[in-house]
Amino acid sequence: MSIAFDAVSAYDAAFSGKSAHVIDGRGRAEPFDVGQWTAAPDWVDRELFVEPCDAPTIDVGCGPGRLVAAISARGIPAMGIDVSAEAIRQTRVRGAWALRRDVFATVPGEGRWRHALLADGNLGIGGDPVKLLSRVRDVLSPAGRIIAEVADDGAGFVQERRRLRVDGRVSAQFAWAVVGLDRIEDIAEGAGLRVIGTRTLGGRHTATMARIGS
């Protein structure tokens, strides 16, 4: 197997429904569960991510758009951003507003979003969660909240280089990170945020963060 495409192209291929696996920094492969993200939100998705969003919401790394579409369907202004063109296409098919955009580029409505989602492990985007959270903080209004999915208590903080294997082709490496419940407070503080609450449902965990002092 040779490196045949970049990570973004690999995500495009995976979201189109091709067999895909994530290869972690130790070389271990796990299924890339596109089916979960292309299905309708389940009860855990709704409780952890959809229902708490009662004001303008940005979904960072929205994938095929199940969450942003569900939020929009409630009459809440919502937008998804993702680097994958296929993910954005599918989100728009669901009837939601979405842009192909890197979170570190200019984002419409900067400083006015009330909620930001980092679901499905997207706190790992870029491999530097302090940098990512700092950026998302700046996208939000002063009273904004970030809801981020985190790993199990005891998972700690791991930075690594990952790859995607899609239909036998392996992507170039990309930086990723994993943050456990046991480390999210430290990571949040480094980004000028504080954890104001955590939730666990259906074996998944979230931390809600706000600006320090707000």
Confidence of residue 141 (pLDDT cuts 50, 70, 90): very high
Helices 7-15 and 85-93 cross at an angle (nearest 10°) of 30
Residues 9-52: tens digit of each pLDDT: 999 999 998 889 999 988 999 999 888 888 999 999 999 999 99
pLDDT tens, position by position, 164-173 = 999 889 999 9
Mean pLDDT rounded to a whole number for the chain: 95
C-alpha distances in angstroms, 37 versus 10, 90, 197? 16, 11, 25
Q: How many domains does the chain have?
A: 1
Query: 3 falls in which pLDDT band (50, 70, 90)?
Result: very low
Domain of 7 in residue numbering reads as 3-211
Q: Which helix (H) or strand (E) holds 44?
A: helix 43-45
CB 80 within 8 A of CB 72: no
Maximum C-alpha span of the chain: 51
CATH number assigned to the domain comprising residue 86: 3.40.50.150
The answer to whether the pTM exceeds 0.85 is yes
